[in-house]
Structure 1
Amino acid sequence: MYNLRRLEILRELKHRGTLVAVASAMSYSPSAVSQQLTLLESEVGAPLLEREGRGVRLTPQAEILVARTEKALRELERAETEIAASLQEVSGTIRVAAFQTAMLALLPAALTWLREHHPRIRVEATQAEPNTSLPGLLTRDFDLVIDETFPGQARPARAAEYEHHLLFEDPMRLATPAPVASLAELAQRPWVMEPADTPARAWATAVCHVAGFEPDVAYVSADMLVHVRLVEQGHAVAFLPDMLRFDRPPGLVLDGSAGHTRTVLATVRAGAGEHPRIQAFLTAIRRPF
């Protein structure tokens, strides 16, 4: 029987791409990772890695092993879920990634509820955008990602490996320093938007295109509080999520009449949603809404 830890190292290489990244994630030295993979090749009796430029790629035999390892890990995760469900008290650590507004608006209240109802659950939370945190579910860096989707956007690749739990629909409001009659009136105004490689930026740009203009994106920030301040002081216009209702200064005009929304989700690995820790966290995170 093949060594499971070595199979996990091979799987990590599939997801992370380099020996150095695997070593960092698993607290090994790169030479130790290389040695374990060499031993696994001896066990298998076939090459598992091929040189590709300065890096390596998995052979067809290695891909077979990774696919089977994924199935084995999912079965072990199901076993963990069943054992946790058989216990009277929910305990242990859940590692969560959330984008900024979710960290600000949802997480504190959820932590308060968990502290009262499940004091033996430890939450480790990291602020990260979904496009970077979702792959962390598959590498098991995170157990749950608070995710967002916008109308007209496809789900990420490998969607079958994720399980999505709807939290709520979050209105996206046009934010201006003074009232306007239509979005088209803002064609000549400077905008603040999120970075170019984000779903939020793609959605906001598409909405402006439908209104007949290319937005003048003078300011770029992933920090939504920066967006609020720039609009409040008359330097830009923006789309702001309703989730920011806890921080709305009086110098902000918000118009939601167009009916734009984003969908806020809790995403976990496929099959992990029934784990008691996941269920407890889902209950906690839904409470404010």
Structure 2
Amino acid sequence: MLDVRRLRLLRELSHRGTIAAVAEALMFTPSAVSQQLAALEREAGVALLERTGRRVVLTPAGIALVGHAEAVLERLEQAASELAAARTGLAGTIRIGAFPTATRTILPAALAALGREHPALEPMVDEIDPAEVAPRLRTGDLDVALVHEYDFVPTEPDLALDSLPLLEEPMYLATPANPATTSTASTASTASAASAAAHGTLPACRDEPWIVSAPGTLCHAMTVRACQAAGFAPRVRHHIDDFGAVLAMVAIGQGVALVPELGAADPPGGVDLTPLPMRRRTRIAFRRGAGAHPAIAALTAALRAGVGPSANAPGPAVPAPRV
């Protein structure tokens, strides 16, 4: 009989590529992970791994077994969901991952409603960039997460996860509106940026300094790729993750930026916001098979009620992006 815990290790190895990365993610020692995978190979009776330097590559048998592991783990999530539904009332913790804009604008109303409906359910929120969500959902560190994807940032499905649509919002080009508020040294740049806002196009901002999120985040990749699609590479001056701070910097002439609608809900004076033909889509992600869990279903309902008619219509769960 194949051990489910060892199948989880093999699944994580297929994503992470090294024994050390799996050990770090699951808080094991590398030797313990190696021993468990060796035991799984003995159980399977065939070689599952091939070592190439520091990395470990799955054999065809190993790849096939990961596919079966995904199906087994999905059924276990479904079983846990059905057992939870059989209990009376919702209680315990639900671990939620959310990106900063969602933490500020979407979650408060949803958590307030959840608390009124299910006072014994304790939500625990961890602010996290969507790029880090998938591994933390797979390992059970999170139960559910809000993730987003942008135009120009293609994502590939993660077979361990499902997701449901929540919200779609436009993107805006943020440029300084009042050159007089800036220093003499930046006046020419700011005037050009204000002119760019009038044109409402990314190419008009090709010579401006840009304010972007930290490298490695989806927001950073979105800005860089959107500019590349417009025919130029952005000249990055600042790396700032908080959209409120980004707009404050735009207002004083420190650069231009791309911001989503939720991030631009309360812009400071001195900022022009020009809508662009780009979108950001927010989804509710969870482990495959866990969507019917009462706690996740209750949070999903509260989130959708909170965003109102701007939410997408309910639909079937689809494989979540590898975010």
Q: Common fold, TM-score beyond 0.5?
A: yes
Q: Is the 2:77–2:287 Cα contact (8 Å) retained in structure 1?
A: no
Q: Who is 1:250 aligned against?
A: 269
CA distance in 2, matches of 1:163, 1:3: 24
For residues 258-269 of structure 1, the aligned pairs below 5 Å read 258-269=276-287
Q: Who is 1:10 aligned against?
A: 10
Range that drifts further, 71-80 or 16-25: 16-25
Structure 1 residue 74, shift from structure 2 partner: 0.7
**Amino acid across the alignment from 1:21:** A
For residues 205-284 of structure 1, the aligned pairs below 5 Å read 205=224, 207-208=226-227, 214-245=233-264, 247-256=266-275, 258-284=276-302
CA distance in 1, matches of 2:207, 2:18: 46
Q: Is the 2:150–2:280 Cα contact (8 Å) retained in structure 1?
A: yes
For residues 22-101 of structure 1, the aligned pairs below 5 Å read 22-101=22-101
- 1:204 maps to which of 220, 223, 239: 223
Q: Is the 2:75–2:289 Cα contact (8 Å) retained in structure 1?
A: no
Structure 1 residue 207, shift from structure 2 partner: 4.6
**Amino acid across the alignment from 2:236:** V
Q: Who is 2:157 aligned against?
A: 158
CA distance in 1, matches of 2:280, 2:219: 9
Range that drifts further, 105-114 or 157-166: 157-166
- Structure 1 residues 188 and 144: CA distance shift in structure 2, 3 A: same
**Amino acid across the alignment from 1:181:** A
Question: TM-score, with normalisation over the residues of structure 2?
Answer: 0.76
Alignment gaps of 5+ in structure 1? none
CA distance in 1, matches of 2:32, 2:65: 20
Secondary structure in 1 aligned to 2:38? helix
Q: Deviations over 1:224-250 (max 9, x none)?
A: 233122112221121222213554323
The percentage of counterpart residues that share the same residue type is 39
Secondary structure in 2 aligned to 1:261? strand
Q: Is the 1:147–1:266 Cα contact (8 Å) retained in structure 2?
A: yes
Question: TM-score, with normalisation over the residues of structure 1?
Answer: 0.84
CA distance in 1, matches of 2:270, 2:146: 30
Structure 1 segments (4+ residues) deviating >6 Å? none
- Structure 1 residues 188 and 123: CA distance shift in structure 2, 3 A: same
Q: Deviations over 1:239-277 (max 9, x none)?
A: 222213554323333233x45432221122333322211
- 1:181 maps to which of 194, 198, 213: 198
Q: Deviations over 1:34-60 (max 9, x none)?
A: 332333333333333322102333333
Q: Who is 2:144 aligned against?
A: 144
Structure 1 residue 205, shift from structure 2 partner: 4.4
Q: Is the 1:148–1:264 Cα contact (8 Å) retained in structure 2?
A: yes
Q: Who is 1:113 aligned against?
A: 113
Number of aligned residue pairs: 287
